[in-house]
Each structure stands twice: as structure tokens, then as C-alpha cells.
Structure 1
Amino acid sequence: MAEEYYYDEDTETAMEKVKRLFRENKVVASGNYGVRTGRREFAQHMFRARVGFQFFTLAALLGGGMFYDKKRKDERLAIEQDRMVALDQHQQENSV
């Protein structure tokens, strides 16, 4: 379960900020651990994983935006078609 921590940017010290950021981003903390212990390959994997996760996040945002944009356009098209059908029916009723 993710814990939420309250912080105040105005009163937060530099060390508190570093600790908070490590709590929020576990991959960076793992990479930092690898650097401190001399495990360079492990650290590189963690930093690259972070970039991969950022790419995945960006791709999900773009894909979701495109999906909902298409959905919104389809809904607008359906509404416009319903209006045209109703207008045609109204014109046919009045011409009789």
C-alpha cells in the first residue's frame, strides 16, 4: 500500500526533499544504492529501467489521449447524424 507523505515546499530542507524523492521513486533509490555499493552494472540497469518507465508513461498518455479523442469524435458524429435524420423526418412531415 502506497503511503502519502505531507510536505511543505517552503519549509522542507534539502535532506528532507532528497528522502521524500527517494521514497516516491524506488527505481532511482535502487540506482543510487548500486552507485554507493560499487555495483555499476546494477545501477545502470536501474537508471535505464527508469527511462523505460518514463517512456511507457508517455506512450500511455499519448495512446489514451488519441483513444479518447477518437471516441469523442465518434460521439459527435453520431449526434450529428441523429440531428440530420430528425431534420429529414421533420421536413418530410411538413411537406406532406
Structure 2
Amino acid sequence: MKENIAFIKGQYSPAEAADVLLSLLNDKIKFHSVRALNLRHEQVNSDRTSEGKIRKLKEDKKIVEQLVLHAHKNGLELEINGTIEIKLVDKHHTVGA
């Protein structure tokens, strides 16, 4: 089963866009930070995937901040279109099996 949901769609002022996009990015950074800390706390090997995602999300956050500032300085709005694809998968199913 698969669903596509229009998560964010429309034109936003720089302040609105910053609020929406930076909130999402900050929540994702927090999610991966907590996940990495939990794995360290459990004395499991550090989750390099989460650490890499945190770095990428922080880079994306800087890009969003630059776009918002540019839009603000130039009297522009930001059009945002974001669709989320959600699939139900069997966690025990292995590809190629």
C-alpha cells in the first residue's frame, strides 16, 4: 500500500516559510540527534547514518535561511511544494529473497 500526501503546498511570506521549513528541519535534526544519543547510551556502535543526516539537514537549514533572507530583502514570497510518499512495508521482507 502506498499513499502520496501533499504535505506543504502554496505560497508563503518569508516569515511563514521560515517558520514551516525551519520547524521541520529542526524536528528532523532533533529526531536524529536523540536517535544517535540513544544508540551511544546503549553502547551500540554510533549510528553514522543519523550523524550524516544531521550534517545534511544542517546544510539544508543554511540554504533555507539564505533563501528566506533573499526573499525578505527582495520583497518576494516562497512557493513550497512538498509531497510525502508513505509505503507500508514488511520489515521482515528482504529484497531479492
Query: Scaled by the length of structure 2, what TM-score is found?
Result: 0.40
Q: Larger relative contact order (C-alpha < 8 A, sep ≥ 6)?
A: 2
Query: Scaled by the length of structure 1, what TM-score is found?
Result: 0.40
- Highest CA radius of gyration, 1 or 2? 1
Higher strand share goes to which structure?
2
